Amino acid sequence: MFTLGIDYGTNSVRALIVRASDGKEYGTGVVDYPSGTQGVLLDSNDHNVARQSPADYLYGLEKSVAQALAEARSKPDFDASRVAGIGVDSTGSSPMPVDSANRALGIDPRFKDNYDAQCWLWKDHTSWREAARITELAAAHRPDYIAMVGSTYSSEWWWSKIWHCLTVAPEVFEAAYSWVELADWIPSQLAGVTDPKAVVRGVCAAGHKGLYNTKWGGLPDKEFLSMLDPKLADLRDRLYDVAYDAATPAGTLSADWAARLGLPAGIPIAVGAFDVHYGAIGCGVEEGTLVKVIGTSTCDCAVIPVSKNPGDIPGICGIVEGSILPGFFGVEAGQSAVGDIFKWWVEGVCGGSGALHGELTAEASRLKPGQSGLLALDWNNGNRTILVDQRLTGLLLGQTLYTTRAEIYRALVEATAFGARAIIERIREYGVAVDRVVCTGGIAEKNPMLMQIYADVTGCTMLVAGSSQTCALGGAIAASVLAGAHPDFDSAKAAMTSLRAESYAPNAENQAVYERIYGLYRQLHDSFGGLTASADLTQLMKELIDIKYAAHA
């Protein structure tokens, strides 16, 4: 028996075929989205805009699965007729407007060139005003709503984006019968669902981004939504009443899509989830494990048994029952830019390519902690956790006339490590155990310098997941449980996940230096983040110089 995982990332879609008995990978397909700039529709007049074409999603679906099947067919024991289930994950919150037949408006010829009718990608921050207003109103009138998602609503999330569409593009809002998360829309397309209200919604997206909770009857009540705009209250009737965890299928593969993909009709499709939540499953997440999916951004996930509900944690992206594993609360946090920051510096500013990434990494690896005298903030795309403020920006401190490109590159890597430590400290503060850290993604596999810096800064040993496609693998694991290949998720994880041999333990000497620099980072973090009203930063530059001289000595 085989299962198929499909992972919708920021720039491409990946399909992965695995053997359900042990997770062995039989075929992989990766297809870049053809539209926009590396698949993202941008606006040179507004850096907050980030949309994607729904047509790219369907194009990538067919092409990536075809590639994966072609590779799998080269194995003598593979047969497409034995693919027994499908799991889908995506970025999020990435909502899109749909018509009454569940067709994406962005594919409609009337709207194909209208950015507001496309999918509103997770990294679109145009709705920061709406997010702030939701936070304000929820704190005053529905404090439970906002407490479950860290006490601050984000411009990356569902309601703020839909409300912003209503504000700036009422013609699109009026044309849309409903809205669907990308993670839910792809499974609904595969299942042939033609009624938006019949789309099986995953609790992952609903809970972490849509303020869904069974405690208050599902989505926010219409009275509260009317405080935002009466049209949002009307929209609630066209959305959904119940959201489901990974134990519930989103449907079965329709005859049409079975023919298009060359797979058996009627096989189960797992409920959709965000990439990192299925990625956590693909990393073998369990209580005490923090999974870090390191990509263009970074998302951190942990699980807590329902019997150990930790309550609310300020500044994180939510604690939602069933959002990762049935029977557990899923805890989500993350950083809005990690790989994107390195890409900005190496490709955008330095004008280099992949080769320059390697060159700067090699040069930066020869530097000692603190040797550059630099300190940066990792907010080039805002702060997702723990400040939840997308209007914050990046900062580089300590540069001189002799500062090099590699020194800045290392400082940016260190900044993301400091941000990662802040998250670990916050969730530990509220009783979430972090006994081990499992990292996944291309950066985790290809950049030992970064992994060692993360270990030295956080004080945690960094482990690396065995699969290079853990998000797609997580979807395939969910599909394997639904298909009956495994009786439950614990059995499936034990059989289908693994860790690589290499790991990165903290270096005590480096830790001591980074402990001092992290203290300076927190001064900047808390001052510019608004946590400390009267911070004294007058000695910070000079402390960096002292650390620099000590490193050179």
What DSSP state is assigned to residue 216?
G
Answer yes or no: are the C-beta atoms of 428 and 402 closer than 8 Å: no
Does position 357 have pLDDT exceeding 80, yes or no? yes
- Contact (Cβ atoms closer than 8 angstroms) between residue 267 and residue 199: no
Strands 298-305 and 328-335: antiparallel
Q: Which residue has tokens 């992965």?
A: 16
Lookup result for tokens 């048994």: 305
Q: Is the pLDDT of residue 515 over 80?
A: yes
Question: Which residue segments constitute the domains of the chain, with CATH numbers given?
Answer: 2-271 (3.30.420.40), 339-469+487-553 (3.30.420.40)
**352-356, long-range: CB < 8 A, 24+ apart:** none
Locus of tokens 């939701």: 134
Using CB atoms within 10 Å of the CB of residue 334, give its burial: 0 to 12 exposed, 13 to 18 middle, 19+ buried. buried
Q: How far apart are CA 478 and CA 493, in angstroms?
A: 9
Q: Using one digit for the tens of pLDDT, what is the confidence trace for 363-407?
A: 999 999 999 999 999 999 999 899 988 889 999 999 999 999 999
Q: Which residues contact 454 (CB under 8 A, 6 or more apart)?
A: 417, 420, 439, 460, 462, 504
- Residues shown for the chain: 553
Q: Which tokens hold the place of 530?
A: 């608004």
Kindly report, residue by residue over 228-280, the tens digit of the pLDDT. Answer: 999 999 999 999 999 999 999 999 999 999 999 999 999 999 999 999 999 99
- What pTM was computed for the model? 0.91
3-state SS assignment for residue 106: helix
Q: DSSP label at 187?
A: H
pLDDT tens readout for residues 29-58: 999 999 999 999 999 999 999 999 999 999
Residue 454, number of CB atoms within 10 A of its CB? 26
Distance CA 36, CA 253 (A): 30
pLDDT of 106 reads 97
CA–CA separation, 227 and 229 (whole Å): 6
**Token pair of 343 as six digits:** 């890409």
CB distance 43 to 505 below 8 Å:
no
**What percent of the chain is modeled with pLDDT above 90?**
93
Could you give the CA distance from residue 31 to residue 65 in angstroms, rounded to a whole number?
A: 9
Query: Are 467 and 438 contacting, i.e. CB atoms less than 8 angstroms apart?
Result: no
pLDDT score of 212 more than 80: yes
Q: Is the pLDDT of residue 534 over 80?
A: no
CA atoms of 414 and 137, how far apart (whole Å)? 37
- Secondary structure E strands in 53-110: 83-90, 95-98
Amino acid identity of residue 167, one-letter, is T
**Dist. CA 473–CA 310, nearest whole Å:** 28
Distances (CA, A) of 463 to 121, 452, 511: 30, 11, 18
